[in-house]
């Protein structure tokens, strides 16, 4: 706790004075362009990763970067999405998974959830991803299996996101775009889901993706290599 207090003192002394005008504007409201839904993992810091200023990102974090389907589970994330789209008028919603995700590891090994019934219940919203990957990753090593599950979970949560009426309406009008990303902690890389091709592709620094194999094709290649 002392470390946090000292950090705040540094912010108030060194950072705030240099951005006083910005904070004065933000004191009366916010106008973020993007809602960023990501994992609660302490290693994932959206504002740092994207060099974002205060007021640019509307960030929501939970275990496993999950968005429950509409009407199935009343939750803070669904309420936050409604607020971001309807009131803040965000133009983009990003669901971002990450490498070495503890939630995804728990899906692969349910024994890790012993004594945590609430977490186990929450992760049921990722069951579809677990089943899809289980049916398509025979012979993969643990690292590849985890990578595939992390990707498929993002795809599944994008499908859940589309079930929210406010999201469906905004997408239909062309005022909202949704995105699925995977952040690699150790490599500072991002892969993005290309909905038109069903592929995760590398994000280049100019924002244009580099095409790679589709997830299903990759499963097949990895399984053949492991055989």
Judge whether 54 lies within some domain: yes
**pTM given for the model:** 0.87
Judge whether 83 lies within some domain: yes
Q: Which residue has the tokens 């795809």?
A: 155
Exactly one of 98, 125, 160, 199 is catalytic; name it. Answer: 98
Whether residue 101 lies in the annotated active site:
yes
Exactly one of 41, 147, 160, 191 is catalytic; name it. Answer: 41
Q: Does pLDDT of 214 surpass 60?
A: no
Round to whole Å and give the CA distance between 55 and 22: 9
Judge whether 69 lies within some domain: yes
Judge whether 222 lies within some domain: yes
**Mean pLDDT of the 23-49 span:** 96
What are residue 33's phi and psi, to 5 degrees? -90, -20
CB proximity list for 23: less than 8 A, separation 6 or greater: 16, 54
Q: Does pLDDT of 48 surpass 70?
A: yes
Whether residue 162 lies in the annotated active site:
no
Judge whether 38 lies within some domain: yes
Judge whether 129 lies within some domain: yes
Round to whole Å and give the CA distance between 157 and 80: 15
The DSSP code sequence of 168-219 is: HHHHHHTS-EEEEEEEETTTTEEEEEETTTTEEEEEPTTSPEEP---HHHHH
Whether residue 39 lies in the annotated active site:
yes
Domain that holds residue 192: 29-226
Exactly one of 12, 25, 43, 204 is catalytic; name it. Answer: 43
The rounded percent of the chain whose pLDDT value lies above 70 is 89
**Mean pLDDT of the 115-132 span:** 93
143-173, pLDDT tens digit by residue?
A: 988 999 999 999 999 999 999 999 999 999 9
Whether residue 13 lies in the annotated active site:
no
Provide, for the chain, the percentages of residues in helix, strand and coil under a 3-state DSSP scheme, each rounded to the nearest 5: 50, 20, 35
DSSP label at residue 33: S
Judge whether 188 lies within some domain: yes
Q: Which residues of 44-77 are buried (b: 16+ CB within 10 A; e: fewer)?
A: bebeeeeebeeebbbbbbbbbbbbbbbeebeeeb
Whether residue 43 lies in the annotated active site:
yes
Judge whether 24 lies within some domain: no
Tally of domains within the chain:
1
Question: Looking at residue 52, which CATH number applies to its domain?
Answer: 3.40.1050.10
């Amino acid at each position: 706790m002392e470390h946090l207090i000292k950090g705040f003192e540094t912010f108030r002394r060194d950072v705030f004075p240099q951005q006083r005008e910005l904070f004065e504007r933000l004191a009366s409201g916010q106008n973020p362009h993007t809602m960023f839904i990501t994992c609660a993992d302490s290693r994932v810091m959206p504002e740092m990763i994207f060099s974002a200023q205060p007021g640019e990102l509307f960030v929501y974090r939970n275990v496993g970067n999950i968005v429950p389907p509409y009407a199935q589970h009343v939750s803070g994330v669904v309420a936050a999405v409604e607020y971001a789209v309807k009131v803040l008028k965000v133009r983009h919603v990003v669901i971002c998974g990450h490498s070495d995700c503890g939630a995804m590891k728990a899906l692969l090994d349910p024994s890790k959830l012993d004594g945590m019934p609430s977490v186990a219940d929450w992760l049921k919203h990722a069951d579809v991803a677990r089943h899809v990957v289980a049916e398509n990753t025979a012979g993969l090593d643990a690292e590849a299996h985890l990578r595939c599950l992390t990707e498929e979970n993002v795809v599944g949560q994008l499908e859940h996101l589309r079930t929210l009426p406010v999201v469906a309406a905004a997408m239909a009008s062309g005022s909202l775009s949704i995105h699925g990303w995977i952040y690699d902690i150790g490599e500072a890389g991002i892969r993005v889901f290309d909905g038109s091709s069903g592929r995760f592709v590398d994000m280049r620094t100019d924002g244009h993706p580099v095409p790679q194999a589709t997830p299903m094709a990759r499963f097949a290649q990895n399984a053949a290599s492991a055989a």
